[in-house]
Amino acid sequence: MSFSLMDKILKNVEKPTRYTGRELNMCIKDPAKIDVRFGFCFPDVYEIAMSHLGLKILYHVLNLRDDTYCERVFAPWVDMEEAMRANNMKLFALETGDEVISFDMIGFTLQYEMSYSNVINMLDLAGIPLLSKDRGTNVPFVCAGGPCAYNAEPIADAIDFFMLGEGEDIICEIIDVYKEWKKIPDHTREQYLEMIAEIEGIYVPQFYDVEYNEDCTIKSITPNRPCAKPVVKKRIMSDFDSAPTPDKVIVPYGDIVHDRVMLEVFRGCIRGCRFCQAGYVYRPVRERKADTLTCLADRLLSSTGYDEISLSSLSTSDYSQLPELTDNLIEMTEKKKIGLSLPSLRIDNFSLELMNKVQKVRKSGITFAPEAGTQRLRDVINKNITEENILSSTAMLFRGGWTNVKLYFMIGLPAETEEDVEGIANLAQKVLDTYFEIPKEERAKNINITVSTSSFIPKPFTAFQWCRQDTRDEIIEKQNLLKSSIKSKRIRYSWHDNKTSYLEGVFARGDRRLINVICRAVKNGCRFDGWNDHFKFDQWMKSFEECNIDPDFYLRERGFDEVLPWDHIDIGVTKSFFKREYDKSQKAQTTPNCREKCSGCGASCFGTGVCYE
């Protein structure tokens, strides 16, 4: 009798089902009969990773291929990492338990900047050299995609190639080329990268030379070989209605964050909030038909046994077939005793009626996102919602029996004044007043208003990409001002940690010089930076110092003529559009949404979606 190392390790870690796989609907293949073994890496713990829709889609797309086996690879939690390192156990995939270093390719999804330390740490755990230039032919290719890939310059040196935009098609194209490349005698890594550099949407960082000015700003980004395009354009799925989507998904044993069927209703957003990267990078808006979604919902419910279904998109209220879809889903869910959750809805008569119809609605916790405290500042950021909208919606909610309202704002927005910060408190007070204006017998008891602020972080590919980010002290000052402006005990205030926002800001608009800092920070023990308990700000600051890099440099205002680290990436929306949007923001002028009037952002170049409705 002998026990496996895994059994011995799992006896002493929390939540062992994070590491054992074997869940329902897991894809099982014989690795011996496979040409390409792909590890889909999510740089966070199982519960977060398994909640990610992109993983489910690409897992499905890759495993539809007989020649490919896509397995899942997640960041082991700190207790597991300790046990693995103590036992010389390398990073493994959940499906087979095999070490990922033996794979052909591994791909990271970059969902948030604070996961970069986990990417590097996972490479280290896998036994793969951290930097692309140090990798030989015997280790897998390391690629990456996801929203942060649009400016992943801070970890560019660690990634062999990026896939920009939506991955369903491109991921198959690079696998096809991989098989071709394998047949070439004496093939080299460089050869493969040159072959795929021809594919639209592939960005190979090492094929671009970055030169810096004396003040550390970028002088130029130049392709260093013919196959590298001067500008790499993102990919999208032109026909989203028929884009591949799984009709069965893995059902985890443990409790994950989004433990339900997720229906992706549409991609993109018509709104154009000037701070919102997601609102720009996923353009143009493309919808799935209500009928397609209804069939999909039915198939997913029967293949998973889930008892809850949720719609997934940005700003779900903008879905043009929402009434039809929700009618269908309500009928289905009532019959099957399934819960339906509808996030991201604007509050109006339609959605209120809808919420009353839907089962399992707890009359607590409705979140509004006015984002800014005054109308002027809301116009600056193009959040087209008025005070009147908010007050009439909250009045409707209070009359409908809701008493828990959360108001979400950002502080540190461009051109923000004290008046704007105080405006947050005033708006919350007016919401409270609205409640008390309603006669007692028409409202529920115990009103509770929560004001929550996060700190604004200028992101690439937004109208505010040139803006300065508030310092930590400025943020703290504004948080204190807001605290003292809130007078009522019924209004609670919660705020976001300024240290995390600070670092996120550095990486969001960072350049290639940051890779040394990230590798150093990982050596210094940084990982799981998105988790408050594990975030080691002091170690990060120490690492910046050791690498002689001033993080504040990345938070400064940038000139319009400055070369931005992401200037060689094309998301469809043009720089000149962002410039126009920035100028309008300075004059507090709003821009209509895509369905009201086209503003010529450039996304029509993809020849599909809302631009051609």
Partner 1 sequence: MSNYVLKYKRGNEVKYISHLDFVRFIQRVIRRAELPMLFSSGFNPHPLINIALPLSVGVTSDGELMRIGLDGDFNEQFVMDTINKTLPPGFEIIGIKKVEGKEINFNKINKAIYQCNCELEKETKVDIPSFLSNTSLLVMKKSKSGIKEADIRPHIHSLECTQEKNNITLKMCIDAGNNYNLKPDTVIEAMEKYIDGFKTTFYAVHRCALLADDAELL
Say how far apart CA 567 and CA 608 lie, in whole Å.
24
Taking the alpha carbons of 433, 434, 437, 443 in that order, is the dihedral positive or negative? negative
Nearer to partner 1, 8 or 595 (CB): 8
Nearer to partner 1, 8 or 483 (CB): 8
| Minimum gap (Å) between residue 16 Cβ and partner 1 | 4
Q: Which two tokens stand for residue 310?
A: 């949720």
Region from 61-69, 296-304, 310-318, 464-472 binding partner 1, contact rule CB under 8 A: 296-304
For partner 1, the binding residue among 78, 251, 330, 547 (CB under 8 A) is: 251
Which helix (H) or strand (E) element contains residue 492?
strand 491-495
Angular region, 415: left φ>0, alpha ψ -120 to 50, beta rest: left
Nearer to partner 1, 308 or 546 (CB): 308
Of 373, 560, 324, 580, the residue nearest 485 (C-alpha): 373
Nearer to partner 1, 23 or 176 (CB): 23
For partner 1, the binding residue among 108, 306, 507, 528 (CB under 8 A) is: 306
Site for partner 1 in 10-69 (CB under 8 A): 10-11, 16-17, 20, 22-24, 26
Region from 112-120, 249-257, 475-483, 486-494 binding partner 1, contact rule CB under 8 A: 249-257
Which helix (H) or strand (E) element contains residue 57?
helix 53-63
Nearer to partner 1, 256 or 449 (CB): 256
- By rule CB under 8 A, what string of x and - marks binding of each residue 452-471 to partner 1? --------------------
For partner 1, the binding residue among 186, 215, 255, 473 (CB under 8 A) is: 255
Of 604, 599, 589, 582, the residue nearest 271 (C-alpha): 599
Give residues with Cβ within 8 angstroms of 343, minimum separation 6. 310, 311, 312, 316
For partner 1, the binding residue among 97, 127, 244, 254 (CB under 8 A) is: 254
**96 binds partner 1 per the rule CB under 8 A:** no
Site for partner 1 in 156-185 (CB under 8 A): none
Nearer to partner 1, 23 or 194 (CB): 23
**305 binds partner 1 per the rule CB under 8 A:** yes
Region from 62-70, 246-254, 284-292, 446-454 binding partner 1, contact rule CB under 8 A: 246-254
Nearer to partner 1, 22 or 179 (CB): 22
**1 binds partner 1 per the rule CB under 8 A:** yes
Answer for the pair 372, 380: CB distance below 8 angstroms, yes or no. Answer: yes
3-class SS string, 373-396: CCHHHHHHCCCCCCHHHHHHHHHH
For partner 1, the binding residue among 87, 242, 302, 494 (CB under 8 A) is: 302
Answer for the pair 465, 556: CB distance below 8 angstroms, yes or no. Answer: no
**361 binds partner 1 per the rule CB under 8 A:** no
Region from 72-80, 192-200, 288-296, 303-311 binding partner 1, contact rule CB under 8 A: 303-311
Nearer to partner 1, 11 or 487 (CB): 11
Size of the site for partner 1 (CB under 8 A): 26
| Minimum gap (Å) between residue 84 Cβ and partner 1 | 16
Question: What DSSP letter does each residue of 170-219 carry, written as one string?
Answer: HHHHHHHHHHHHHHSTT--HHHHHHHHHTSTTEE-GGGEEEEE-TTSSEE
Three-state secondary-structure class, residue 265: coil
Q: Which two tokens stand for residue 561?
A: 């003529």
Nearer to partner 1, 5 or 184 (CB): 5
For partner 1, the binding residue among 112, 253, 493, 537 (CB under 8 A) is: 253
For partner 1, the binding residue among 96, 217, 292, 303 (CB under 8 A) is: 303
| Minimum gap (Å) between residue 307 Cβ and partner 1 | 7
Answer for the pair 36, 175: CB distance below 8 angstroms, yes or no. Answer: yes
User: What does the longest C-alpha to C-alpha distance in the chain come to?
Assistant: 82
| Minimum gap (Å) between residue 253 Cβ and partner 1 | 5
Neighbours of 388 (CB within 10 A): 9
Of 98, 106, 100, the residue nearest 41 (C-alpha): 106
Answer for the pair 575, 256: CB distance below 8 angstroms, yes or no. Answer: no
Nearer to partner 1, 15 or 575 (CB): 15
Region from 5-13, 206-214, 261-269, 561-569 binding partner 1, contact rule CB under 8 A: 5-13
| Minimum gap (Å) between residue 47 Cβ and partner 1 | 12
Answer for the pair 572, 263: CB distance below 8 angstroms, yes or no. Answer: no
Site for partner 1 in 425-444 (CB under 8 A): none
Q: Which two tokens stand for residue 555?
A: 């938070």
Nearer to partner 1, 258 or 523 (CB): 258
Query: At 159, phi and psi to the nearest 5?
Result: -115, 130
Which helix (H) or strand (E) element contains residue 351?
helix 349-357
Region from 4-12, 96-104, 130-138, 271-279 binding partner 1, contact rule CB under 8 A: 4-12
For partner 1, the binding residue among 99, 194, 247, 307 (CB under 8 A) is: 307
For partner 1, the binding residue among 86, 215, 239, 337 (CB under 8 A) is: 337
Neighbours of 295 (CB within 10 A): 13
Neighbours of 283 (CB within 10 A): 28
| Minimum gap (Å) between residue 195 Cβ and partner 1 | 39
**257 binds partner 1 per the rule CB under 8 A:** no
Nearer to partner 1, 176 or 308 (CB): 308
Give residues with Cβ within 8 angstroms of 592, minimum separation 6. 599
Q: Which two tokens stand for residue 20?
A: 């054992």
Q: Site residues (CB under 8 A) for partner 1?
A: 1, 3, 7-8, 10-11, 16-17, 20, 22-24, 26, 251, 253-255, 301-307, 336-337
